[in-house]
Amino acid sequence: MKSKIITGGITAPKGFTANGLYSGIKKSKKKDLALIYSEQACTAAGVFTTNKVQASCVVINKGKMHRGKARAIIANSGNANCMTGKRGFDDSKKIIARVATALKLPESDVLIASTGVIGKPLPIESIADAIPALTQSLSKAGGKNAAQAILTTDHRVKEIAVEISVGGKKVRVGAIAKGAGMIHPQMKSATMLCFVTTDAVIDRGTLQKALNESVDDTFNMITIDGDTSTNDMVLVLANGTAENKKIVAGSKDFRLFRQALQEMFITLAKLMVKDAEGATKFVEVAVDGAKSKEDARTAARSIASSNLLKCAVYGSDPNWGRIAASVGYSGADVNPWKMRIYLGSELVLENGGPVKKDISILNRVFAKKEIKIRVDLGQGKENATAYTCDFSPEYVKINSAYRT
Amino acid sequence: MKSKIITGGITAPKGFTANGLYSGIKKSKKKDLALIYSEQACTAAGVFTTNKVQASCVVINKGKMHRGKARAIIANSGNANCMTGKRGFDDSKKIIARVATALKLPESDVLIASTGVIGKPLPIESIADAIPALTQSLSKAGGKNAAQAILTTDHRVKEIAVEISVGGKKVRVGAIAKGAGMIHPQMKSATMLCFVTTDAVIDRGTLQKALNESVDDTFNMITIDGDTSTNDMVLVLANGTAENKKIVAGSKDFRLFRQALQEMFITLAKLMVKDAEGATKFVEVAVDGAKSKEDARTAARSIASSNLLKCAVYGSDPNWGRIAASVGYSGADVNPWKMRIYLGSELVLENGGPVKKDISILNRVFAKKEIKIRVDLGQGKENATAYTCDFSPEYVKINSAYRT
């Protein structure tokens, strides 16, 4: 039994409602405040950025994770509320308090997330004033509003929902995500903004385990610009209303649930890369023949992070020497004489030197909107795949005037 | 006694001549083959890229370094002769053989360097045919030709010469360098293309020690695009014609000689950054208050490597949050509450939050052509400075069509 994609996003699982509106943060007056709510108590799990500079929302949520319980996630976009001093923490707590009051929840049940510019205080009164309207109009249909309200430079809403069957009971998992720049999630349980809901019956430890095991080959394998954010997080709420036989670690049901998460995450991760700031092309970098999984990941991420390669992709120039160079400086165990490089299905490097190819064939591969690069390290059996986009003059323009 | 800048470059020291000409590599028909020659036997030292994918020139020179002797350096631009298989090695050896024959030297006395596109065989016959003309016209004035012939996307020649006094004798040191892209020299004795000549009397071990100790705070602290080259090297030839009292490690003379190298390298390193592909601005990133020298270097290099910051510099947007984020993910020991960030002389971050500043003041700092960023980590007493440039749409354009 595999997972099945169903319509909707964060509100597809039973018992979850959501909403999103403009609360006064964004100059564009686009939606900038999102709320996700469960009518029932939830098991909660989360993974967070490994950046040592962390926004107040990251610090606050991490402090709540030991309880493993929550019922609401309040998230704003347009302002990261990071490097905003003690005031930043006070503002986050004020928002949590207002949401808790409006929803009649203890403050400990409310998680918080922020994304946007760093170092600028939030317009706290304006946000606080918007909370009653936000909570009063929570609905199933409001999932779309929430998906819009967490976006920054993203062009497209990123949401997905799947259904799996656990012991004959239908279990739904829904998710929304955002991210188009400052994207280079660091290994070990760190990633971008993504909120997941599920009606599965699952305990906290098992939920956290499934989450941990789902980010390494998905969100942690994408890069847009090599900059790791201060605010990255994935939060999962599971309210148990599907009434399935409890999912326990190591079981077939657990693997099915984890696989559903992985499939959702890889879909959302690819959506992020495709929606990346200024991106005109999507690049899949597959590394195999590595001595270790870590080597495969390191090499794939290094290639995907090469500014020079990303410029060549933008210009449709099949300059594979830059792939070889970025594997060489990755730190992975590399023997240039054993390495093979493929552009699409075309072998271009073997025995330490170029394979004769009509350049027009390679030009055609690099002219595509979706480009596949494969590097066989010839050293072992491990593999990993990274995802990235090209580097365009438009990326520079977007990020040269982000605050204005 | 300090070093004194004198006119000239690679041929300023006694006994050295040089030349450069077009040998058929570059489509532009600009000079692409350089030769540096010493009339006397030389002590030789070198440092090389730590990239595991290394061009044949790097591998060949490293093999010769244990002798610590050489009299000539042949270098081509426009083609890196890297990932060109066995043929690449054969081509490098053929060039060395031709130069050795023409100069009546053993092959072991000829070092080789290449820079340019990866994965493309050299036009070896054309290069070989050019060698007699190259060797026949070696001269003091030819130093300028050599400086031109090692350039790729560089706009400007990078050369410098200094004079120091060792035990009453004048000692000269000259250098040429190139580099405008694929610049992110890795720590531990790796750097870009730079050739140094000196008429100093100094033994091999002492010369290598002076070189090793001169690259870490100079070439290894610049970054243009985060891509570490496969062909980076610095070579030094010392022919002893200054007849100074031999420079020995640990002496005052040694420190003077090393300081001369450091001053030359930092000048050339800054010239590289200022001449970087597409660069419109020069950025100095000073980190102090670090717990260790390594932490200071790591943090400074991480800030200087942030694509997002470099876009903000291009756009004159004083978005210092990106500085905080890049320190946070650098791996250095960081406490966001103790960190201070300065743009120019303006303090912008303190106690974990923004310092109130008129934005017009910060805009003025970031509008400058030369920008200073200072981060006080507040953790200790070590410091380091990195140098970088902005990221412009022009950089992308140059590197989207490098091979065409």
* Per-residue confidence in pLDDT tens, chain A, 404 aa: 478 999 999 999 999 999 999 999 999 999 999 999 999 999 999 888 878 888 899 999 999 998 999 999 999 999 999 889 899 999 999 999 999 999 999 999 999 999 988 888 999 999 999 999 999 999 999 999 999 999 988 888 989 999 999 988 999 999 998 877 666 655 343 447 888 999 999 999 999 999 999 888 888 888 777 777 788 888 889 999 999 999 999 999 999 999 999 999 999 888 888 888 888 999 999 999 999 999 999 999 899 988 889 999 999 999 898 899 889 888 899 998 999 999 999 999 999 889 988 889 999 999 999 999 999 999 999 999 999 999 888 888 887 876 54
The distance of Cα A39 from the centroid of its chain, to the nearest Å, equals 26
CB pairs under 8 A between A and B: 245
* A351–chain B Cβ distance below 8 A for any pair: yes
- For residue B403, give how far its alpha carbon lies from the nearest alpha carbon of chain A (Å): 7
**Beta carbons of B351 and A85 less than 8 Å apart:** yes
* B334–chain A Cβ distance below 8 A for any pair: yes
**Beta carbons of B403 and A317 less than 8 Å apart:** yes
Phi, psi (degrees; rounded to nearest 5) at B47: -130, 150
C-beta of residue B215 within 8 angstroms of C-beta of residue B192 = no
**Beta carbons of A311 and B353 less than 8 Å apart:** no
* Chain A residues within an 8 Å CB radius of B351: 85-86
Report the candidate in B221, B317, B51, B296 with the shortest Cα–Cα distance to residue A308. Answer: B51
- For residue A254, give how far its alpha carbon lies from the nearest alpha carbon of chain B (Å): 33
Q: What pLDDT was estimated at residue B403?
A: 59
Phi, psi (degrees; rounded to nearest 5) at B239: -100, -5
* B280–chain A Cβ distance below 8 A for any pair: no
The segments of chain B whose pLDDT lies below 70 read 1, 181-191, 402-404
Rounded Cα distance between B335 and B322, Å, is 16
Rounded Cα distance between B152 and B117, Å, is 10
Share of chain B above pLDDT 90, in %: 65
**Beta carbons of A353 and B396 less than 8 Å apart:** no
Q: Tell me the two tokens of residue B265.
A: 């390298």
Q: What pLDDT was estimated at residue A186?
A: 53
Q: What pLDDT was estimated at residue A185?
A: 56
Report the candidate in A150, A151, A76, A164 with the shortest Cα–Cα distance to residue A120. Answer: A76
**Beta carbons of A353 and B311 less than 8 Å apart:** no
**Beta carbons of A119 and B349 less than 8 Å apart:** yes
Q: What pLDDT was estimated at residue A397?
A: 84
Q: Is the ipTM beyond the 0.95 threshold?
A: no
* Chain B residues within an 8 Å CB radius of A401: 315, 317
- For residue B401, give how far its alpha carbon lies from the nearest alpha carbon of chain A (Å): 6
Half-sphere exposure of A258 (CA within 13 A, CB side): 21
Q: What pLDDT was estimated at residue B3?
A: 84
Q: What is the dihedral of CA A83, A88, A93, A96, to 10 degrees?
A: -80
Half-sphere exposure of A51 (CA within 13 A, CB side): 33
Q: Which of B392, B395, B399, B402 to mutate to test the interface with A (most CBs of A within 10 A)?
A: B399
| Active-site residue flag, B191 | yes
Portion 299-318 of A in contact with B at CB < 8 A: 305-308, 311-312, 314-317
Strands B193-198 and B233-238: parallel
* Chain A residues within an 8 Å CB radius of B395: 311, 396
Q: What pLDDT was estimated at residue A52?
A: 83
Selecting from A83, A348, A393 the residue whose C-beta is nearest the C-beta of B354 gives: A83
* A40–chain B Cβ distance below 8 A for any pair: no
Q: What pLDDT was estimated at residue A183?
A: 61
Residue of B nearest to A85 (CA): B353
Portion 133-172 of A in contact with B at CB < 8 A: none
Q: What pLDDT was estimated at residue B188?
A: 42
Q: What pLDDT was estimated at residue B181?
A: 67
Q: What pLDDT was estimated at residue A182?
A: 65
